[in-house]
Structure 1
Amino acid sequence: MKKLFLAAILVISGSSAMMAQSDLAFGIKGGVNFSNLTGDGFGEYDDDSARTSFNLGAVLEIPVSEKFAIQPEVFYSGQGFDLVQREDAEDTEFQLDYINVPVLAKIYLVQGLYLEAGPQVGFLVESKIDGPNATIGLNEDNFNDIDFAGAVGVGYKFNGGLYLNARYTQGFTDIYDGETGDDSTKNGVFAASLGFIFN
Structure 2
Amino acid sequence: MKALIISGAFLFMAGSVFAQHNNVHVGLKGGLNISNLASSPNAGYDAKAGFHAGGLAHIHLNKSWAIQPEIMYSGQGAQNSSTKTRLHYVNVPVQLQYMFDRGFRIQTGPQVGVLAAANVQQGDVKTNVKSSFKTADVGWTIGASYVGESGIGVDARYNYGFTNINDASSVNLYNRNVQVGVFYVFKHKY
TM-score clears 0.5 = yes
Residue 7 of structure 1 deviates from its aligned partner by: 2.2
Residue 176 of structure 1 deviates from its aligned partner by: 1.2
Letter in 2 for 1:74: I
SS of the counterpart of 2:9?
helix
Q: Distance in 1 between matches of 2:180 and 2:150?
A: 20
Query: Which of 94, 104, 117 matches 2:95?
Result: 104
Q: Distance in 1 between matches of 2:134 and 2:43?
A: 22
The runs of 5 or more residues in structure 1 that have no matched partner are 86-91
Partner of 1:133: 124
Residue 134 of structure 1 deviates from its aligned partner by: 2.1
Q: Distance in 2 between matches of 1:10 and 1:73?
A: 12
RMSD: 1.7
CA contact (8 A) 2:71 2:90 kept: yes
Does residue 1:190 correspond to 2:190, yes or no? no
When normalised by structure 2's length, the TM-score is 0.91
Partner of 1:89: none
CA contact (8 A) 2:23 2:61 kept: no
Partner of 1:52: 49
Where does structure 1 differ by over 6 angstroms across 4 or more consecutive aligned residues?
A: none
Residue 45 of structure 1 deviates from its aligned partner by: 1.1
SS of the counterpart of 1:164?
strand
SS of the counterpart of 1:194?
strand
Matches within 5 A, 1:149-168: 149-168=139-158
Q: Distance in 1 between matches of 2:122 and 2:181?
A: 26
Comparing 113-122 with 171-180, greater Cα deviation is found at 171-180
Does residue 1:66 correspond to 2:63, yes or no? yes
SS of the counterpart of 1:111?
helix
Residue 178 of structure 1 deviates from its aligned partner by: 7.0
Residue 131 of structure 1 deviates from its aligned partner by: 4.4
Letter in 2 for 1:108: M
Partner of 2:26: 26
Residue 40 of structure 1 deviates from its aligned partner by: 1.7
Identical pairs, percent: 29
The runs of 5 or more residues in structure 2 that have no matched partner are none
Partner of 1:88: none
Q: Distance in 2 between matches of 1:63 and 1:179?
A: 44
Q: Distance in 2 between matches of 1:44 and 1:125?
A: 23
Q: Distance in 2 between matches of 1:117 and 1:8?
A: 19
SS of the counterpart of 1:174?
coil
Q: Distance in 2 between matches of 1:132 and 1:77?
A: 23
Count of aligned pairs between the two proteins? 186
Q: Distance in 1 between matches of 2:29 and 2:186?
A: 12
Residue 108 of structure 1 deviates from its aligned partner by: 0.9
Query: Which of 105, 114, 117 matches 1:114?
Result: 105
Q: Distance in 2 between matches of 1:188 and 1:69?
A: 25
Does residue 1:94 correspond to 2:91, yes or no? no
Letter in 2 for 1:191: Q
Residue 84 of structure 1 deviates from its aligned partner by: 2.3
Partner of 2:12: 13
SS of the counterpart of 1:84?
coil
Q: Distance in 2 between matches of 1:132 and 1:159?
A: 47
